[in-house]
Amino acid sequence: MTEKRVSRWYFGGLASCGAACCTHPLDLVKVHLQTQQEVKMKMTGMAMHVVKNDGVLALYNGLSASLLRQMSYSLTRFAIYETVRDMVGSQGPMPFYQKVLLGAFGGFTGGFIGTPADMVNVRMQNDVKLPPELRRNYKNAVDGLFRVWREEGTRKLFSGATMASSRGALVTVGQLACYDQAKQLVLSTGVMRDNIFTHFISSFIAGGCATFLCQPLDVLKTRLMNSKGEYRVSVFQPLHLGNITIFTFPGSLTTDLIPSVTSVYLRWYLSITIGLVPAGIRLVPHTILTFLFLEQLRKYFGIKVVS
pLDDT-wise least confident of 16-20, 92-96, 280-284? 280-284
| Mean pLDDT calculated for residue range 150-172 | 89
Interhelix angle 276-301/11-34, nearest 10 degrees: 170
**Predicted confidence band at 280 (pLDDT cuts at 50, 70, 90)?**
low
| pLDDT tens digits for range 103-144 | 999 999 999 999 999 889 888 887 877 788 888 889 899 999
Q: Given a cut of 90, is residue 279 above it in pLDDT?
A: no
CB 198 within 8 Å of CB 183: yes
Task: Tell me what pLDDT residue 132 has.
Answer: 82
The answer, as to whether pTM is greater than 0.85, is no
Task: Tell me what pLDDT residue 39 has.
Answer: 54
Q: Given a cut of 70, is residue 220 above it in pLDDT?
A: no
Number of Cβ atoms within 10 Å of the Cβ of 147: 16
Task: Please state, in angstroms and rounded to a whole number, the distance separating the CA atoms of residues 283 and 149.
Answer: 30
Q: Given a cut of 50, is residue 268 above it in pLDDT?
A: no
**Predicted confidence band at 251 (pLDDT cuts at 50, 70, 90)?**
very low
Q: Which fold has domain 3-306?
A: Mitochondrial carrier fold (1.50.40)
Bridge partners (DSSP) listed for residue 239: 246
Task: Tell me what pLDDT residue 212 has.
Answer: 82
pLDDT-wise least confident of 76-90, 101-115, 254-268? 254-268
Q: Given a cut of 60, is residue 41 above it in pLDDT?
A: yes
Q: Given a cut of 90, is residue 240 above it in pLDDT?
A: no
Number of Cβ atoms within 10 Å of the Cβ of 190: 7
* Contacting residues for 110 by C-beta, under 8 A, at least 6 apart: 72, 73, 74, 75, 76, 77, 78, 80, 168, 172
Structural domain boundaries in the chain: 3-306
